[in-house]
Chains A and B, each alone.
Chain A
């Protein structure tokens, strides 16, 4: 086990392991910090900035993103100071102005006490994607395929397959669909095909030779079979029937 580190979060004296982040220790202890671009299984990224907290060290306090900030001995953290809250509210206003009609965002905004953005309504947008980069990171880090990525700079940023064509490296596993916080990546299954609509990629499904269910894309099964060095024909039956 790593060295133990003492810190205070919202007045509670807590311990964490060296190398943990403030967010991890907070969550382990049931302290709620809002996040949108964070997931336990994936390297933190620091894009949504909602997880801001105020830390004080040597009598100097500053705002940091808790998903990235490593804990330190004697650190004092406050997760809901006035400064933290007013920034979170503005971030929510910015999100609402970008994502009109996206339920996750609207719910979160309401929880943080924001009901509508202060910007002129004529500028509100109806994007579903918040550019949190969870899908692209899941694809790269968990699946290891990097079939999609964040392209373009600044306001033109978007998630896309290389060269905005169909995602050739996509294996149809659906990890991105599952992880997307706003559920904006659409997947359709139709008989023996699966389509990930956003990446314009369609896959033939493998039929289980026992129960007859179309259980996963052939391409995905081949990918894992090769990666894990399994014998040919290993995925002819679905996990349930094996």
Chain B
């Protein structure tokens, strides 16, 4: 017997009142899209703003209009695909041609050649700096081909300001499934079973946290998203919030349902104007579609979400400081012996998760806990987004499965060290992360392995350093950052970091004492044991790991008054290697203190040590390597 055809649900124009209506809406959105229609997708994320991407986008629109192609070509501004250093970034669909370093002058040529004639402009393709090979498709570029972009992939596929785009790629179907087919307890079980751990730094099991907040006594409970992201150089949360805000909202609504919360906050640093704008817009859109607010999708569940802008202090990312700041108080941490899941915001049970943690939730709900726990290592599941910066050839935002070898990240995705120099160490986890040396490059990157070698996952910042980096100087740099960001409430962090900086400065000035290494270690132990919050507790990692792996550099500074990397100014001298200098005089003019004197052609120049301020200008200028650093 033939099945009776079901009556077709009409796509709603306003509120979506049932999962069926959501599917109808999605079908209508997908039907409107012609997969063969060319689309120019240009990243308009914060990273690309500096390259004038907003003007470039407009130029494309103008050019398309000029050529009367409006009906046959789409132009779309998208979120960040991660390869920011190569911006502006452009993908042309459906072929997937990937152009990088696009400038406004290139616009007419791209339209004429690639869109109209279907020819690829090889000048705009990515070229591997090592192999000189060109790559046509984004997916083939080594920077991308080794990644697993569960969360970031959608960034370049959708317009973050369009809820239709998100729904078109399956958005909010996880929410519909959860609200109508899964009980709150089962949602929590699923998250537990998936093995998801918080991406904000601590790696706390997300399911357990949800469970405690659900179990805590109280009628009013809060769900909060941490988008403070105060690490210098980190921008994973920004890029998710800017590029795919609905995925974060969907995760939060699911979490609220599981926990039994009806009120939530997105705490977002105010230096992220585009992220603030996009998430506010996303909230409005979701509300008008009935996906947020009262009676979500006709399920009877309601959840209200507000945006709160943080003042920007690094410590405000710490959970208790964040909640104090949300309450309008000074953003200072307090002891967490009573967990925030019991007494958090306004002393009510509160569940705080990081942006990336939330964004994982819809995927887990749709594809299942087993699928998720199939990715990664024994103790760390799923993928992790890192911002890979420093002395590697390819820098940017990357997403890889947990457990990828550190070496594959630095040398595979990162393409190795710039200018053929030697790798020295990679710092992971943000300013209070540790430095990992060559000998540990083969560790599988996950929460526990990073901790084992003295560093941490932290937020996911990765800074690669090369042979020209002084490790004592590096440690000093980060301790200084942390000292400036310490709230000053507790004694070990406030006073301890101050002393640590004094000792490190002495060492890099050649005034270190023999006992200073041991004193640094004792100070570090107290910072770790006695500080009130994790800022102070982890602040000594840069010092401890550099002592652990690069003790010889500390000793060279202290005992021999020598900086092996040639970085610490008081310990180095610049000199002319007479045999190598042909007296070209190229360095004479640029020297800011006129310390170099031209003698005659074919005779070496003379460098006056008295006048030299060790700025290194001559060293950088001399192509013949006739300037030596000692």
Contacts and interface: CB of A to CB of B under 8 A. Distances in A.
A215 interface: no
Interface stretch (A6-14, A92-100, A174-182, A233-241): A92-100
Interface string B495-524: 111110011001000000101000100110
A120 to B, nearest CB: 7
B335 A46 contact: yes
A185 interface: no
A157 B488 CA distance: 6
B487 interface: yes
Contacts, number: 105
Interface string A44-73: 011111001000000000011100111000
B492 A94 contact: yes
A155 B313 contact: no
Interface residues of A, number: 35
B491 interface: yes
Given A46-B334, A123-B499, A123-B502, A91 B488 contact: no
A69 B335 CA distance: 9
Interface string A62-93: 01110011100000000000010011001100
A144 interface: no
A155 B483 CA distance: 7
A95 B526 CA distance: 13
Interface in B517-570: 519, 522-523, 525-526, 529-532
A187 interface: no
A119 B530 contact: no
Given A47-B491, A154-B488, A94 B496 contact: yes
B317 to A, nearest CB: 14
A143 interface: no
B375 interface: no
A94 B491 contact: yes
A90 B526 contact: yes
Nearest to A55: B337
A87 B499 contact: no
Interface residues of B, number: 35
A178 B186 CA distance: 57
A132 to B, nearest CB: 9
A153 B491 contact: no
A165 B491 CA distance: 26
Contacts of A86: 522, 525-526
A131 B488 contact: yes
A28 B497 CA distance: 35
A63 B529 contact: yes
A150 B494 CA distance: 14
B491 A154 contact: no
Nearest to B498: A155
Contacts of B506: 120
Interface in A144-160: 150, 152-157
A78 to B, nearest CB: 14
13 contacts: A46-B489, A63-B529, A70-B338, A86-B522, A87-B526, A94-B492, A94-B495, A97-B499, A119-B502, A120-B502, A131-B488, A154-B485, A155-B497
Given A63-B529, A118-B519, A154-B485, 13 more contacts: A46-B335, A49-B492, A86-B525, A87-B525, A87-B526, A87-B529, A91-B530, A97-B495, A150-B488, A154-B483, A154-B484, A155-B486, A157-B494
Interface of A: 45-49, 52, 63-65, 68-70, 83, 86-87, 90-91, 94-95, 97-98, 118-120, 123, 130-131, 133, 150, 152-157
Interface of B: 313, 334-335, 337-338, 483-492, 494-499, 502-503, 506, 513, 515, 519, 522-523, 525-526, 529-532
